[in-house]
Structure 1
Amino acid sequence: MEFRTVIRPLCRQGLVEHGSPMLLLGSCFTDNIGKCLRDDLFDVEVNPFGPVYNPMSVLRSLEILRDCQPIREEELIEVEGLYRSFLFHSRYSAVDSAQAADMMAASVLSGHETLKCASVVFLTLGTTRVFRHLASDRIVANCHKQPAKEFESRCLGFDETVAVLAECIELIRGFNPSARIVFTISPLRYLESGAHGNQLIKSTLLLAVDEVVKVFGEDVASYFPAYEIMMDDLRDYRFYAEDMKHPSSQAVEYIYEIFRASYFSPETEKVAAEARALTRRLSHRIVASSTEAGANEIAARQRAIRAITERYPKLTDAIRRYNDKNTLFK
């Protein structure tokens, strides 16, 4: 007898594979799953705009990626000495406007190239609440703590949300006809709208995703139940972070386990386990008692990298990206 609601893995093994590019776009939960996939050395582009929460901002982000639209300096705003964009998270900011615009443009270009050939696009939706910037009459992805009087806030209705999600699917498939789309609903609770308001927001997203999956068919678009795993399977405050809104690292790990069981083939799981062991080693700072000991550890890491890439050549690019400075390849 089970005294909890257990969410079983989906039967979609083989959807996620090494060497097949994937794009992940959406809320901060996307960052969590994206990190797990990076650690398993998958070819992933994760949140090229930073976290994006509402369906309209997700659609706008996809439009920019498809068209590889330039980021103009004059569209940036200065906040606390840093230049930012209403389309990007604050992680894409700099003291110099040209540097900020270049940083954003580079991320857009990388996302454009991934969207063009992605086997799967994961879209994680967090809320239906949108903020319209009154001066520009545009929906923003991030308000950057600007005065509330500069924005108008409202929640998208069911029909609006369905229409926007359908546009997302059509845009992706129009640009990359072979791409599969997987929707998830972020388990992050948006309590700024109150507990009841949060439930209404999540309910609208769940109903809208269910509708577009029915319309387009599961061969095109499907749903991964991250929200249900958090709310119905884990269902305990010990699985939340200290803010009582975000999933804890343990919760993310559990959700990723079900993700792996849902989408990895046995061979992919085997490669991912080896990749995970390697990236854990690479992520540790080298602490050695002598220069010689440090050099020995670098050499050992180089041997480990060569060994895994000889067995699985499709991991080479992912390893290079994982090690930003490429120190271990020199």
Structure 2
Amino acid sequence: MKFKIDFDIPKQNLKIEWPSFFTLGSCFAQNQAQRMAQLGLEVYSNPFGILYNPISIGKIVSRIVNQQLYTASDFENRKSIFSWEHHGNFKYNNFPLAIEESNSLLKEAQNALKTSNCILITLGTSLVYKHKSITVANCHRVSNNEFVQEQLSFDEIKHAISQIVKDIHTLNSKAKIILTVSPIRHLRSGIVESSRSKATLIAAIHEVNALNKETSYFPSYEIFIDELRDYRFAKEDLTHPTAQAEKYIWDRFASTYFSNSALKTLDDVKKYRDFEDHRPDDTDLYQKQLTEKKALLHKQYPFLKL
């Protein structure tokens, strides 16, 4: 008997043996970027923090590509200085510092985007909050009565994603763009609204993919909802994937986009990381063995970022 749904994901060709990544979007993108870094991949992630909706992601991509520098008018002063374009972790004590650090990140992000082989964009929701007609990336704990919630239309989402793809290829014409939808449901607005939000994102992504050879869709959301259809794969909030679920989705991602030799490299790095996490009685011998294993890895795979 079968107790779960399994489905095939077509193998994709990244055209490079050991790709570098730029990840942008939801907390799922952030978590997978951390996993990539642990496995020795070169990865740059979310310069201005976690972003959930395609409009906010598009604004950041446009700024990065066009080097549209921040000025004081891009920030709010509400006891601390922040931008509606950034995650809530980005707060400053004064305008000069906010401008300087944001523009420094902008330049750093452009260099990373320009040189990355693969751009992974994870869309979280198409439900957005607007402040005075401006779509915000984060509400920064400002009172709810200052915002209006809206469901983006299919056409708005399609246009935003198409522009993101166009902007990225303006800066980096050879980049492979992987689009995915975060498996994390946003239930604050309701289960039906969350499903509608995800469905509209998925439909728009497929429309964009049909028009672009260098984009592909990875079914993170479908893997979590269908293959891992069991609450034991969710954390206590019943929406976020457990570490086991995230690893399962990563394994599916790696087997989809990496060559067999790259998968062998990832497996060797994983064995090294497992040994690194070991807590032995003989620490001197352990440190000697750890140093030797790391040196051997670098000799075999000099491109690793460990």
Quote how far apart the aligned CAs of 1:63 are. Answer: 0.8
Instruction: State whether structure 2 residue 200 is matched by structure 1 residue 204.
Output: yes
| 1:24-43 pair list within 5 angstroms | 24-43=23-42
TM-score, structure 2 as length reference: 0.90
Quote how far apart the aligned CAs of 1:103 are. Answer: 4.0
CA distance in 1, matches of 2:222, 2:151: 22
Q: Which residue pairs with 1:165 in the alignment?
A: 161
Counterpart secondary structure, 2:87: coil
Of stretches 187-196 and 107-116 in structure 1, the one that deviates more from structure 2 is 107-116
Q: Which residue pairs with 1:323 in the alignment?
A: none
**Structure 2 stretches lacking a partner, 5+ long:** none
CA distance in 2, matches of 1:98, 1:199: 42
| RMSD after superposition | 2.5
Indicate how the Cα distance of structure 1 residues 48 and 159 shifts in structure 2: closer, same or farther if over 3 A, else same.
Answer: same
| 1:62-141 pair list within 5 angstroms | 62-72=61-71, 75-78=74-77, 82-95=80-93, 98-134=96-132, 137-141=133-137
Count of residue correspondences: 306
Quote how far apart the aligned CAs of 1:302 are. Answer: 4.0
CA distance in 2, matches of 1:197, 1:9: 27
CA contact (8 A) 1:129 1:155 kept: yes
Indicate how the Cα distance of structure 1 residues 62 and 297 shifts in structure 2: closer, same or farther if over 3 A, else same.
Answer: same
CA contact (8 A) 2:88 2:139 kept: no
Instruction: Specify the code of the residue in structure 2 equivalent to 1:208.
Output: A
CA contact (8 A) 1:9 1:259 kept: no
Indicate how the Cα distance of structure 1 residues 70 and 236 shifts in structure 2: closer, same or farther if over 3 A, else same.
Answer: same
Q: Which residue pairs with 1:182 in the alignment?
A: 178
Identity %: 29
Q: Which residue pairs with 1:324 in the alignment?
A: none
Instruction: Specify the code of the residue in structure 1 equivalent to 2:35.
Output: C
Instruction: State whether structure 2 residue 224 is matched by structure 1 residue 257.
Output: no
CA contact (8 A) 2:22 2:120 kept: yes
Quote how far apart the aligned CAs of 1:13 are. Answer: 5.0
Instruction: Specify the code of the residue in structure 2 equivalent to 1:312.
Output: Y
Counterpart secondary structure, 1:31: helix
Indicate how the Cα distance of structure 1 residues 220 and 153 shifts in structure 2: closer, same or farther if over 3 A, else same.
Answer: same
Instruction: State whether structure 2 residue 266 is matched by structure 1 residue 268.
Output: no
2:227 to 222, 230, 233: 233
Indicate how the Cα distance of structure 1 residues 49 and 281 shifts in structure 2: closer, same or farther if over 3 A, else same.
Answer: farther
Quote how far apart the aligned CAs of 1:27 are. Answer: 0.7
TM-score, structure 1 as length reference: 0.84
Quote how far apart the aligned CAs of 1:282 are. Answer: 5.3
CA contact (8 A) 1:64 1:108 kept: yes
Q: Which residue pairs with 1:10 in the alignment?
A: 10
Quote how far apart the aligned CAs of 1:77 are. Answer: 3.7
